[in-house]
Structures are given as C-alpha cells and as structure tokens.
Amino acid sequence: MRLHKFISSNMEAILKEWEDFARIIQPPGGEMEVIELRDHARDLLNNIVRDMDTAQTEQERKKKSHGKSTATDPEADTAAEVHADERLGAGFSISLLVAEYRALRASVLRLWFKGESTRQHEYADEMEDLIRFNEAIDQALAESVARYTEAVTENSDIFVGMLGHDLRSPLQVLSFGAAKLKNMEDADNSLNQLGSTMIASVQRMKEMLDNLMDFTESRIGEGLNIQLEPSDLAEITRQLVEEFRSATLNHTLTRVVTGDCTGNWDASRIGQICQNLINNALQHGAADGEIIVSCEGKDDSVTLAVKSQGAPIPQSQHQEIFEISNRKHVGKGNPNKNLGLGLYIVKELAQAHNGSVEVESSSAGTVFRVELPRGA
C-alpha cells in the first residue's frame, strides 16, 4: 500500500501514538486533555497526505527542501504554525516540539513497514513514498520551528520595550527629586514627602525586575522557586496596604479580613501576588477610585480579592489577560499601554501553590480573586 493511503487508512492508530508521546513529554504539572494532546496532528497528517498525493515539479521539491512554503496562500497560517502557537502556550520547549515530529515520523514508518511486506516490484514506489513523506515532515517541522522562534523573539522584544517604558516614569521622578534635593538650601517637611515618593518609585522598579526574573524562571528555567512555611495572609495584606497607602495619594485603599487566613505558603510569593494585583488596580482602575483588598478564610482555603473601579474588562479578554502568549495583542496600537507581566506572574504563582485566579468585571467594578489551598 502506498504510504499516503496507509496514513489515511490508519489515521486513528497514528494519532493514538502521537497522543501517547505528547502525554509523556508534556511539561511538569501538565494535565492536558486528549484534544489538547492531539492538537492539530490530524490536520498535519491530512496536509501531508494531500502533498504526497499531488504531482510535484522538481522546482517545487527543491523549494520545499529549502524550507520554503509551496502553499497557494502564503499568508494563511498552516496547521504546523498553529500547532507551534498552541505548544508555546502550553509551555513546551522547542526541543519538545521537535521531538514530537521525530516521534511522528518514526511511528508512521514503523507502522507502515510492520503492516506491509515489501515486494520487489513495489520497491521503487515505496522508496519514493519514503522520500516524499520525509520531505513533508521536514516542511511541517520547519514551519513550526520558524513560528515558534518568531513568537519567542517577538515576546522578548515586547518585554524589553515594556521594561524600558515602565522604568521611564519612576526614573524621571528620581531624577527630579535628586535635582531638587541638590538645590535645596533649607530642608523642610516637603523633604519627607519627596523621600517617600522616591522610595515608592524605587520599589516599583524592583517589582518590575522581580516580575521579569520570575517570567524567565517560569518559561525557560525549572519553574518558580517556592519555599512553603506557615503564613498569615491577613498580616501580609496589612503590611502591603500600609506601604501602598504611604506612597499613594489619589486612591483610597481599604482592607477587609474575614475568618482565619493562615495557610502553608511561600509568604514572599503570596505577598508578590497581592502586590501585583494592587499595582494592576492602581494602573488600570479609576484615577480616584477606591481599591478594596480582602482576604476570607474558608474551611480548606483562603481567598484573596482585589477590587477596583473603572471601565470593565471585556468578557473575551478574561482569560487572555493572564496569558503571556496573548500579551502582544493587549493594548495594540497604544504605545503608552502598560505591558507589564504582573497578571501572568499572579497566575503562575497561584498555580505554583496549587491555587487558581479568576477575574469578574462589570460596571460595578473589577475583582481579581485568588483561591489558595491552606496546605499548598
């Protein structure tokens, strides 16, 4: 049987091997469903079958060997390119992405040769099939790797731009404050206020750098470092709200505590979650609105919530605002839009504690709610 016909006739067996391999190599902590594990494998194989069953000129074959697309619509995303986007979002490294294709090639050829006895008069056709199949697999691999690399590079550029933009404002405050202090002949009470503002700006820069380092750890390292210990979310929120009150003039910060809010967490990381959510409320909430930070103890978990006023977040963005792969689409066309990593880091830290984060948003306000199991 010709190879492309064999693939069509044995699609389910091939997909099952792809699924089993993807389940084994998925990133730590992954619990992907069958549809996620298989992703666009069927479309990939169908494209390969169509390619092998279509007459091809020597020039077209040469073009494909150089990794160039022969598609009629070069602007349309191929199944291999979309697969690269999905695997990047799921935390797969480029090595795991490439391994999927190597395993697919091996599985198809093994099943083909196992089910077919090669007869002499068929040898030429089968060798041609083998060559064509390898070419098609390599084309799909080239497309996926190119898209994956493009996405990683684009995200890197976005983060560099984000860091440069977000650091500009606090640096300007420090520059202004330093100049004023230098030229001040008689210090008065305004010096204390200026010092507080400068300290707050320095803290903001530290938060940005911490988030950037955490992003690097979560994407290319071994995951976020978590040190569990008995912690009190009520005390963590008390300290943070006091700090933000001393540095925030335009907003009213209110703290609400209900029940026992203790648990086994990384206190500094939980503080980072709360800090990022308050920062997000300050940046995106109403200019003079109230920000309510609350923690509520339940039987087996504690809930942290940060509520702010302002324009509601569209329902279509409730999930993507936590995903770094969609960060490039947020605030597109607005060069002053903050492209910080705060919400992404909140999600990663919550999941590292076996918790979760969600957002509810309406004209009545926006609430980010983090659920933390007591015994993370």
What is the average pLDDT across 218-237? 80
What is the average pLDDT across 207-226? 65
pLDDT of residue 217: 62
The whole-model pTM stands at 0.54
Above 90 in pLDDT, residue 238?
yes
pLDDT of residue 74: 65
Above 90 in pLDDT, residue 237?
yes
- The CA distance from 319 to 368, in Å, is 12
Contacts for 359 with CB less than 8 Å, ≥ 6 apart? 313, 318, 321, 366, 367, 368, 369
* Contact status, residue 264 vs residue 231, Cβ threshold 8 Å: yes
The tens digit of pLDDT for each residue in 244-289 reads: 887 676 788 999 999 999 999 999 899 989 988 998 898 888 888 8
Q: Which of 11-25, 126-140, 150-164, 225-239 is least confident?
A: 150-164
The tens digit of pLDDT for each residue in 326-358 reads: 544 344 444 334 445 788 889 989 999 999 999
- The CA distance from 230 to 137, in Å, is 52
Who has greater pLDDT, 37 or 235?
235
The tens digit of pLDDT for each residue in 10-38 reads: 999 999 999 998 989 888 766 788 888 88
Kindly list the structural domains of the chain, giving each domain's residue range(s) and its CATH number in brackets, ordered by start: 3-156 (1.10.490), 158-220 (1.10.287), 229-373 (3.30.565.10)
- Among residues 213, 194, 217, 273, the alpha carbon closest in space to that of 240 is found at 273
